[in-house]
Amino acid sequence: MKAALEVIRSLDRLNDNPFFPTEEQLEQMLEQYGYLTFMVFVCPKMRSKYLELDNKELYMPVDAAPDSLVFPRIPKMQTLLTELWKVGIPSKLIFMIGDNGYDTYKGPPSGIILNQEILDERRERYTQDLKAKLSKYFPQLLEVESLGLMEIGVFDGEVEIPQDMLEREIAFQRFTFEKYYVGNVPSDEILKEIATLKIRAYAEQGFLIEAAEAILISTEGTNLDSWVQRTLMFQVAGARFCSIYPYIRQRTLDN
């Protein structure tokens, strides 16, 4: 088990990672399932221009574009699984497609409701396309799922959202609307509602990670604080799981 920990640690780039798995946790996972499970969230390359048109559902692509963010990240995940198998630890990858953001928390505060039947049909096509492409890289123990098709929404229980988390997410949502949604930035009130719903959506997804007893392979962050912030958003309602950070860039570590 120590060899497995060293493999995982060799790819984790967050110093003093508070979410790093322990030897005992790995042993429990192996004892229960016979393999380790890693989960990574991937975002389709959405086509936001369609949100300005009548057929808004076309914003959801039906195939994984070659320049999607998931593909440059494959080599490190291949290294992780290959090295774990070398030390006798079978491992599974779950790719969780984050395809429900607009209809879960971005659209509703502005009164925009999409046709779920059309959207789900496109999600299914995207999921199958991504799975076919990823199967070439990960021939064993691979699962590709869609948050939208799984009907994962927002956490509806009591949760205390820290003010700094909310403020950071409001700022992030303002940035995304300015950059990706043709400059149509909602009012401050709507931005706050979007940010609140997104944090609650992450909280719900956190329980999904916990239920899978998976180690999260984190892919979101700019500065070091924001990498940890995303994990805390997943855990804000009480979900608990391990997380590693293979994709923090060197310039981020140097700053």
Retrieve residue 135's tokens. 């199967």
- Over residues 90-116, the pLDDT tens digits come to 999 999 999 999 999 999 998 888 999
User: Is this structure's pTM higher than 0.85?
Assistant: yes
How much is the average pLDDT of 45-51? 88
CA distance 113 to 100: 12
Q: Residue 199 burial (CB < 10 Å; 0-12/13-18/19+)?
A: buried
CATH number of 2-254: 3.40.50
Residues 201, 195: Cα–Cα separation, whole Å: 10
Extract the tokens encoding 217.
Answer: 């392979």
Instruction: Output the CA angle 96-154-230, nearest 5 degrees.
Output: 60
pLDDT digits (tens, 9 = 90+) for 12-24: 999 999 999 999 9
Convert the pLDDT of each residue in 199-252 to its tens digit: 999 999 999 999 999 999 999 888 888 899 999 999 999 999 999 999 998 888
Measuring CA to CA, which residue among 10, 138, 13 is closest to residue 75? 138
In the block, which residue shows the tokens 């692509």? Answer: 61
Q: In the chain, which ranges are continuous DSSP H helix?
A: 2-11, 23-33, 74-86, 101, 116-135, 163-180, 188-211, 224-234, 250-254
Per-residue pLDDT, 184: 78
Q: How far apart are CA 89 and CA 74, in angstroms?
A: 19
Exposed, middle or buried: residue 237 (CB in 10 Å: 0-12, 13-18, 19+)? Answer: buried
Where residue 51 falls among pLDDT bands split at 50, 70, 90? Answer: confident
Residue 225: what residue type?
A: D
> In angstroms, rounded to a whole number, what is the distance separating the alpha carbons of residues 195 and 200?
9
Q: What is the pLDDT of residue 226?
A: 87
Q: 145: which strand partners? A: 96
| Backbone phi, psi, residue 143, to 5° | -135, 135
For 144, phi then psi, to 5°, come to: -125, 120
Residue 240 burial (C-beta neighbours within 10 Å; 0-12, 13-18, 19+): exposed
